[in-house]
Amino acid sequence: AAPRPAHGCGSGALLGRFGVLLQALLALCAFSTLMLKRFKEPKAERRPWRIWFYDTSKQAIGALFIHFANVFLSDLTEEDPCSLYLINFILDATLGMLLIWLGVKVVSWIVQHKKYTYLVFGEYGDPPQAAAWIGQCILYLLIMVFEKTVISFVLLIPGWTKLQQILLGYIPNPQLELVLVMLVVPFIVNAIMFWVVDSLIMRKYKQKDTLDINGSIETPQTRRTEESQVLLSPDMDFDQSESDQDISGLQGTNQKMKQPSYQVVI
């Protein structure tokens, strides 16, 4: 049997009964922040439940992939799996967050350049199409795979063992270490990450199309264009009384011009 570490949780503790219970509690608490974020949105811009589910489920799939990848990588060695998991998690929350942001920006630019409308994050069509959601889930999962691959190469750099001893070496109780690694720290960091990533991949409702009374689509840009066209139009309608006064004034001027003029010659 593999020797247990002098401190920390043993091999397989992350997938034990207590570890699985903590992970389920973590998922419930972390995704509650996305629910809170939805109710914090202005009522005029608040996403319908279906759109909200499409947006947040992409994060759920990506978070599950990252979580189980970290669990698998943490059990590859005979070292403390809790500290290894924590190192993976910290790297995901720092360097990984930067990679996710970069990946979302690059993918969004590519799909907009290629005019793949349904692959733009947050755009699902009207009515929302499940095919668009599936395509965006695949793109987001590819970003997660890229992020986790880079983090795995970073972990190959020597010197992480010393950091493991510094992080959790002072905690003698394995269950307390498991609670810190699987619940307390991930909840705080995941709440921030979910909030930021949701803002990245959701539709920017400040640019949302609005419907006018006649049912035609009107955007702020088109509204400004129409207003400028009205102001600059040479065929503007004037008030009837003003036009009558102008006509009468013109007629009076013509009559004055027709009157004979007299010159006095000395």
Q: pLDDT (tens digit, 9 = 90+) per residue, 231-266?
A: 444 554 444 454 455 555 545 555 544 555 545 444
Contact 81/75 with Cβ under 8 angstroms?
yes
Contact 147/59 with Cβ under 8 angstroms?
no
pLDDT score of 37: 83
pLDDT score of 70: 87
- Where is pLDDT greater, at 154 or 247? 154
Report pLDDT digits (tens) over 52-69. Answer: 888 888 888 888 898 888
Report pLDDT digits (tens) over 125-151. Answer: 888 888 989 999 999 999 999 999 999
pLDDT score of 2: 43
pLDDT at 110 over 70: yes
Q: What percentage of the chain has pLDDT greater than the value 70? A: 68
pLDDT score of 184: 85
Report pLDDT digits (tens) over 191-240. Answer: 888 888 888 777 765 444 433 434 444 444 554 454 445 444 455 444 44
pLDDT score of 165: 66
Average pLDDT of the chain?
74
Over range 182-195, report the average pLDDT: 83
pLDDT score of 117: 81
pLDDT score of 143: 93
Domain boundaries, the chain: 13-203
- Where is pLDDT greater, at 134 or 165? 134
pLDDT at 99 over 90: yes
